[in-house]
Amino acid sequence: MKLTFQDLEDLARGAAFLGTGGGDPYCGRLMVEQAMKEGCTVEIIDLDEVPDDALIIPTAMMGAPTVLVEKLPRGDEAILSLRRLEEHLGRQAFATMPIECGGINSTIPLVVGARLGLPVVDADGMGRAFPELQMETFHIYGVPGTPMAITNEYGDTALVTTHDNYMMEWLARGITIRMGGAAYIAEYAMDGRTAKRTAVPRTLTLGLTIGRGIRLARHQHRDPFQSLIELLKTTPYKVGAVIFEGKVVDVLRQTTEGFAKGQAVIESTADHHEQMELTFQNEHLVARVRREVKAIVPDLICVLDAETAEPITTEAIKYGQRVKVMAVSVPEIMRTPEALAVFGPKAFGLDGEFRPIETLV
């Protein structure tokens, strides 16, 4: 499948939805558009089309989305990381792939694919967005994340090899911070066979479908929220529900430890004594009303413009925005004990067990 300009716009919107707050795809979208305008094409392929022994090198941005707003990429950082890793491995990549289908990292591999003429595999390692590198199905199912390469806008690179994927995150995060809080990586190099076993399939087309659904609903004057809920029923992310509606009345946001961390408070439209508090680390982690959990990782917590259902990211959320908060169930594979150990509430230092959104609404 070749991506059109309309697809790209839809995909970016859907990816912002699946990003559950983390990292606006806008900047990445512009880079892909520029490449397409210059004649490059973006070819999306299914996992089934990847030969078992072909090398896939996923690419991504790493760091705080708050930084990306001010420190724009030069454009070839992720490409340099991929090339650096190819050089180290002594093999050329057959394709690139997202590590996360949500947020900006849905678009970075498209830039790499367009510029290098590599297909982009329609799959990812998160099925949404998460803030840390070990929070990937690749990791959960035993793929070593390193050797990994990390590059900044000066072309400075580090090729990191670690004894486990937590140490990869720890070192790469430290390097990202010293690179100014945003850097570009190539990691979890794997063969087609491994990708088929460990990746979440068809998440680029999922993002595209969601983004298109929102657009069409607007265009046809249907309620985009109701349309989204109907649409989600046809995907592995079955259950979607609007869990709060109101106005953003407070945001505490810090760029710290290589992340955008903070809280946002939304005052209910129906009852101004009622408030929802969202806690985020790049992505939204938990939504609480009167300290009671209304949705929690790994289920999606999506803050959307109350009128248009346009996703609002954690670096862009601000006082006065009228929003609806949607929670969405993730596929069962992301709720296993093994998965929850890696990206469930405890992995983020949150109290309490994971509670599926179906039991909370």
Task: Categorise residue 221: left if φ over 0, alpha if ψ from -120 to 50, beta otherwise.
Answer: left
Give the contacts of 144 (CB within 8 A, at least 6 positions apart): 165, 188
Per the CB < 8 A criterion, the answer to whether 112 and 82 are in contact is yes
Whole-number minimum distance, CB 178 to a second copy, in Å?
Answer: 4
The alpha carbon dihedral of 67, 73, 77, 78 has a sign of: positive
Whole-number minimum distance, CB 225 to a second copy, in Å?
Answer: 43
Whole-number minimum distance, CB 175 to a second copy, in Å?
Answer: 6
Whole-number minimum distance, CB 251 to a second copy, in Å?
Answer: 29
Select 185 or 231, whichever has its Cβ closest to a second copy.
185
CA distances from 105 to 127, 176, 185, 361 (A): 12, 16, 11, 30
Whole-number minimum distance, CB 141 to a second copy, in Å?
Answer: 22
Chain-centroid distance of CA 355 in Å reads 21
Select 165 or 329, whichever has its Cβ closest to a second copy.
165
Whole-number minimum distance, CB 106 to a second copy, in Å?
Answer: 28
Select 159 or 239, whichever has its Cβ closest to a second copy.
159
Select 143 or 177, whichever has its Cβ closest to a second copy.
177
Select 178 or 318, whichever has its Cβ closest to a second copy.
178
Separation CA 71–CA 52 (nearest Å): 38
Q: Which helix or strand (DSSP H or E) is residue 105 part of?
A: none
Select 52 or 257, whichever has its Cβ closest to a second copy.
257
Give the contacts of 281 (CB within 8 A, at least 6 positions apart): 131, 259, 260, 261, 348
Separation CA 58–CA 245 (nearest Å): 37
Chain-centroid distance of CA 57 in Å reads 17
- Of 248, 228, 254, the closest CA to residue 239 belongs to 228
Separation CA 172–CA 62 (nearest Å): 9
Whole-number minimum distance, CB 144 to a second copy, in Å?
Answer: 12
Secondary structure (DSSP) of 273-315: T-EEEEEEESEEEEEEETTEEEEETTSEEEEEETTT--B--TT
What is the Cα gyration radius of the chain? 19
Select 161 or 234, whichever has its Cβ closest to a second copy.
161
Whole-number minimum distance, CB 148 to a second copy, in Å?
Answer: 10
| Interacting residues toward a second copy by CB under 8 A | 88, 154-163, 167, 170-171, 173-175, 177-179
Select 88 or 247, whichever has its Cβ closest to a second copy.
88
